[in-house]
Amino acid sequence: MALGPVMLGLDGLELTVEEQEILRHPQVGGVILFTRNYQSPEQAAALTAAIHALRQPRLLVAVDHEGGRVQRFREGFTRLPAVRRLGAIYDQDRMRAKQLARVTGWLMAAELRAVGVDFSFAPVLDLDHGVSGIIGDRAFHSDPDGVADLAHAYMSGMQKAGMEAVGKHFPGHGGIAADSHLELPVDSRPLADLEARDLLAFERMIHYGLAALMPAHVLYPQVDDQPAGFSARWLKDILRRRLEFQGAIFSDDLDMAGAHAAGAPPERALAALAAGCDMVLACNDRRAAVAILDHLRRTPDPVSQVRLIRLHGRGHLNVHRLHHQPVWQRAARLVQDYDAFPLLDMDI
């Protein structure tokens, strides 16, 4: 059975009989976990193992685990600082900041791989323009070169731990104050202005081999009359053709208010897939998710399958063995206090 184009959320700490049946639906390809699905590393490992056992190829298991405000698993995990802290260090010592970013990316990915999570929706590639509360310190920096340098190092650390990176929110969510969880933000800048700044970090990360991207639920009316995640102009013309991106494209959550302009849930999913997404997210509304599955009749696209299969995590230790590794012990201490320890020669 191929991976379907829909990623779903779950209700609780373990799979219900109903959820097992839903996850076997041929249009399902993955699961996204939230704080409501997490109690401990042992519980999370059991949950991901149950999800992976349902099908072959195994369903993708993802989580939003950036650090700072956005870290779904906390108890038993290292508390990751917001990545803007790395940006502040970058302004003083670029080499140290990039080394720290690599260690942080490795630590984040290693701890998630130890409980069976395939990938995190990270890193954020938006610029911190100083106007967006929803982005803010989730962005590495206000300068595109700083974002690209730090995100590249962060991705390298993730890959060392067996995890590919998913950059977000293409083509840039940091230039407007509105929150797409609550409304449809409108960024009125022309394409030339976006190309001169916000798109640069995405372009560089694409050339560094970024495996996946997530577009923003943001409308850029001087570029297209559809929000980026529903726009063939953004996803097929600019992202695929002009920027030559070959990786997977995930929609942002279709339950968010910024997606509602595309219609009812099935219409949102169809519109996002038609625009160029490989997989759409239906995270928090079970009725809407079932409606999407009932309406989709897509046959597997071999190219899309290759893009998605690449996101399966590679190898992992269990939590107990990971925590006994000197490299994890040093990385965890360092990330909890970037200023306290020298980097020395860490094999990351």
Q: What is the pLDDT of residues 9-67, one digit of tens each?
A: 999 999 999 999 999 999 999 999 999 999 999 999 999 999 999 999 999 999 999 99
What is the predicted pLDDT for the residue at 170? Answer: 97
Beta-carbon contacts of 171 under 8 Å, excluding residues fewer than 6 positions away, are 194, 198, 199, 202, 215, 216, 220, 228, 234, 238
**Using CA atoms, how far apart are residues 218 and 57, in angstroms rounded to an integer?**
33
Half-sphere exposure at residue 212, Cβ-oriented, CA atoms within 13 angstroms:
31
What is the predicted pLDDT for the residue at 3? Answer: 97
**Using CA atoms, how far apart are residues 268 and 256, in angstroms rounded to an integer?**
11
Report whether 113 contacts 76 (CB < 8 A).
no
Q: Read off the pLDDT band of 292 (50, 70, 90).
A: very high
Which CATH number describes the domain made up of 6-12+19-25+120-147+165-335? Answer: 3.20.20.300
What is the predicted pLDDT for the residue at 248? Answer: 98
The stretch 258-278 carries a mean pLDDT of: 89
Q: Read off the pLDDT band of 345 (50, 70, 90).
A: low
Query: Residue 282 to residues 138, 219, 266: CA-CA distances in angstroms?
Result: 23, 20, 10
Report whether 227 contacts 184 (CB < 8 A).
yes
What is the predicted pLDDT for the residue at 298? Answer: 85
What is the predicted pLDDT for the residue at 92? Answer: 95
- Could you give the dihedral angle defined by the CA atoms of residues 38, 42, 47 and 50, in that order, rounded to the nearest 10 degrees? 180
Q: Answer yes or no: is pLDDT of 182 > 80.
A: no
Distance of CA 219 to the CA centre of its chain: 20
How, if at all, do strands 65-67 and 70-71 pair?
A: antiparallel
Round the average pLDDT of the chain to a whole number and report it: 94
Beta-carbon contacts of 141 under 8 Å, excluding residues fewer than 6 positions away, are 84, 87, 90, 127, 128, 147, 150
What is the predicted pLDDT for the residue at 151? Answer: 98
Instruction: Fill in the DSSP letter of residue 60.
Output: E
What is the predicted pLDDT for the residue at 274? Answer: 97
Q: Read off the pLDDT band of 294 (50, 70, 90).
A: very high
The stretch 133-153 carries a mean pLDDT of: 95
Tokens matching residue 262: 């595309």
Q: Answer yes or no: is pLDDT of 195 > 90.
A: yes
Q: Give the residue carrying structure tokens 């917001």.
A: 82
What is the predicted pLDDT for the residue at 125? Answer: 98
Question: Taking the model in full, what pTM does it have?
Answer: 0.95
Report whether 158 contacts 110 (CB < 8 A).
no
Q: What is the pLDDT of residues 296-328, one digit of tens each?
A: 988 889 999 999 999 999 987 789 999 999 999
Least confident of 29-33, 36-40, 177-181, 195-199: 177-181
The stretch 119-146 carries a mean pLDDT of: 94
The alpha helices in the chain, defined as continuous H runs, are: 17-23, 41-52, 84-90, 94-113, 144-160, 191-196, 198-207, 232, 265-275, 286-295, 302-309, 319-323, 326-336
Q: What is the pLDDT of residues 218-238, one digit of tens each?
A: 999 999 999 999 999 999 999
Q: Answer yes or no: is pLDDT of 178 > 80.
A: no
The stretch 90-108 carries a mean pLDDT of: 96
Report whether 86 contacts 97 (CB < 8 A).
yes
Q: Read off the pLDDT band of 258 (50, 70, 90).
A: low
Give percent above pLDDT 70 in the chain. Answer: 98
What is the predicted pLDDT for the residue at 344? Answer: 60
Q: Read off the pLDDT band of 79 (50, 70, 90).
A: very high
Q: Answer yes or no: is pLDDT of 261 > 80.
A: no
- Give me the DSSP letters along 223-287: T-SS-GGG-HIIIIIIIIIIS---SEEEEEETTSGGGGGG-SHHHHHHHHHHHT-SEEEE-S-HH
What is the predicted pLDDT for the residue at 202? Answer: 98
What is the predicted pLDDT for the residue at 317? Answer: 79
The catalytic residue positions are: 181, 252
Per DSSP, the three-state class of 20 is: helix
Query: Residue 17 to residues 11, 128, 273, 288: CA-CA distances in angstroms?
Result: 12, 43, 29, 19
